[in-house]
Structure formats: C-alpha cells, structure tokens
A and B are shown apart, each in its own frame.
Chain A
C-alpha cells in the first residue's frame, strides 16, 4: 500500500467528510436554523429596546454559536464509529493526528463557517454598526475553529456513550470560556472606540495553540475510546 503524504492525506479526509456532509444536507441546515432561532429568541425574551439589544448582541451571537457547535459535534465521529470506518482509520499506517485535523477542518467548514457568513444578517436584527459586525465576524472566523477543535476532544472522549450529547456540552463548554470572552470583548472594544487588536491577537494565539495540540490530544482520546 502506497503511503500518502501528510498533505494529500489531510485533503483526502477533508474532501471525504465534505462530500458526506453534502449528502446529508439536512443535518447541516438544522444546526444553522438552530443558530438563527436561538438568536431570534433573545429579543422576544428580553424586550425590543434597541439600546439593550445592541449591547447584548455580541454575547448572544457568541453563546448561540457555542451552543450550535455543541449540537453538531456529536456527529463528528459517531457516523464513522457506527459503520466501522473509524476503526479502519485507527489501524491505518497514516498519522491519526493529521486525519483528525482533516475531520476538524471539514467540520468547521460545514458548521462554523456558515455561522460566520450568517452573522451580518443577524447583527442587523440587533442594530449593530458595520464595524462592530466586521469585528464580530473576524472574531467568529478565528474562534469557531477553536470550538470545533476543542469540541473534537470531547466528541472523541464521549464516543458511543449513552447521553453523549449532554455530557459533551458539560465537558466542552467550560473549556470554551476564553474564546467567548475574547470574542465578545473585541466587539465591545470596537463599539467603545478602543483598539481591537489585543483581543483578536489573543484569539489568534489560542487558535495556534489549539491547532498545535488538539489534533494529537483528540487522536489519543480516540485510541482510548476505541481500544
């Protein structure tokens, strides 16, 4: 068997997962609809005063993004686990970390990227200014991959457990708090005329850190869950 180079392995896994996601468009759409619905529920809950909504918007959008990414994380490994593909992947001679990274990136492209693209529409619902929406999108662009990557650890650990979905949120949400803080902090900084680069560069640092470690940790978690 020919040994694939790491990059072609990464591209292969990513393409496979994207094709699979496209075959099951309904799953992807449900997550998106959930995101839009949670965000739209907030004004109904707290009242239509625009001043308050404008202030709350970054927090609401970020929390909704966090929740909807939890929702889709359960699917990250479960389908492959059930049909035995995951076992084959563990046995394959290729690097499991790269394989996992491919799955993470495709998961982000399916569940994180659409949220970023939807943000301007939802931001307008909350009467956010154009620069605030821009910073919010940039923050989400940097932050949602971290959610996918940290979430993948939880997804791997809870693989095949009963009540896995709730447990997954319990494990992963506390670990995602820094992302939430920096993401909303950046928007508040730009709304009050401060420099946003500190928040966004910290978020970038977290992203680099997550990129460096989470694939390997997730690979270890998968080995623990599958042995």
Chain B
C-alpha cells in the first residue's frame, strides 16, 4: 500500500493532525525539561575549571544549535513553498521564524552571561558570537519583510526568496567572520577542552531534545492560527468543532 505523503501537506488534513500532536510534544517537552534540569543541576558534578558556571551550557548550547537549524528548516520550507507553490510550507516558514529569532536571542543572552565570569567581559567579538548575532539579524529581516507586505501571497514569496539568499550567505558569513576573528587575534580563551562528564552530556542532550519538542509544539500552534486566519473563508474552517461552538 502506497502511503500518500502529500495527504498531510494540505491544510485541511494538517490542521487536525497538528492539533492532535501538539499536546504530546508539549507534555514530553515539559518532562524532558524537568529531567534535563535535574541531571544538569543535581547529578552532574561541578567542572574542574569553570566551577558551577559551566551549567549555563545546558540552555546555551541547545538554543544555539536550534536557532541555526531552525533557519535552515525555515529556508527549506520557504523554498518548497516558492518552488512547488504549496500553501502549507510557506505558512510553516513564517510560523518558525519568531521561534528561531527567540532562540537566537536566548543563545546570545546566555552566551553573554557565560562570558562574563569566564572571559571577564559580557561580549567578546568571538566568531561564534558574532555569527549568532548576524543570524538574529537575518531572522529579524525575514520577519520584518513578511510583516510589511500586506498581500500574504507576495509576503510569503518575497520572504522565501530572502530566506534562500540568506541561507546561501550563512556559510560565507561564518567563514569570513571566523577569518576576521583570527586576523584580529581575538579572545585566546577557547571553550575548555576538558572531556565532558557523562552526566553533563546526558543533561545537554536531554535539554536539547526538550528545546526541540518545545520549538515544534510552538511552531505547530502558531501555524494552526495562521491556517485559521488565511483560510477563514473556506468551508472546512466554518465546519470545525471549535469554530461552531
């Protein structure tokens, strides 16, 4: 039996499916956050070099990873929407963007708080920090462009093109910033090369999974609102249980 993969690419079928999935993602995210924080703060020992401060890693690294991956996922959805003209992919792209921007912001914020005790400065022009900042700008550009175009079709397509151009540029920006940093002989302190304790790894991966589930749950909730808003004139929307009541 051939599974019809395109069945769930239509808003009509995706909307109820997302509605069923969201609670599962949300609850498992909550559980994993609790487990991750427990391992991170109770089980994992203090680091030999960084003492207690290293524990910021459990929120800093997952949010950095997710902010970068979400940009790629967003650009991929946007590209799908642009090329195949699928409505849902464009909606997904615009639902992901705010979450990605917030994760980029959390990553910068926690990075600054980590940098203060470790490097003695809130901000150093480290290649990773700088590229993360530029990533935040790219997200904000996408959101601003999407928000300033009234026609949703045009907004989707214009923002999609911008996301694709941005994702082509991300590696160029990263390597140029890295090169610029070595040129300026920036901070000599690198992330401590000590091998990570097994409990630290477990805590980090649990937190990473928790953040992923959170991001998925939020993006799905947001995309449901976007579907409702865009398709409000179609018949299936008016027959939904939550609309009728």
Binding site for B on A (CB under 8 A): 153, 157-158, 161-163, 167, 170-171, 173-175, 177-178, 181-182, 185, 188, 206, 217, 220-221, 224-225, 227
Contacts and interface: CB of A to CB of B under 8 A. Distances in A.
Contacts of B134: 174, 177
A177 B161 contact: no
A167 B144 contact: yes
B176 A182 contact: yes
B140 interface: yes
Give the bracket for the number of chain B residues in contact with chain A: 20 to 34
B166 interface: yes
Interface stretch (B29-37, B57-65, B177-185): B177-185
A217 B183 contact: no
A175 B149 CA distance: 21
Contacts of B166: 174-175
Contact of B138 (A161, A167, A174, A217): A174
Nearest to B157: A224
A177 B148 contact: no
Contacts of B158: 157, 221, 224-225
Contacts of B145: 157-158, 167, 171
Interface string B161-172: 110011001001
A81 B199 CA distance: 61
B141 interface: yes
B78 to A, nearest CB: 12
B161 A178 contact: no
B154 interface: yes
Contact of B140 (A161, A170, A177, A221): A170
Contacts of B140: 170
A123 to B, nearest CB: 21
B148 A175 contact: no
Given A170-B141, A171-B145, A177 B177 contact: yes
B165 A217 contact: yes
A174 B154 contact: no
A215 B229 CA distance: 35
Given A157-B158, A167-B144, A175-B169, 14 more contacts: A157-B161, A158-B145, A158-B148, A161-B148, A171-B141, A171-B144, A174-B134, A174-B166, A175-B166, A178-B169, A178-B176, A181-B177, A221-B158, A224-B158
B44 interface: no
Contacts of B183: 185, 188
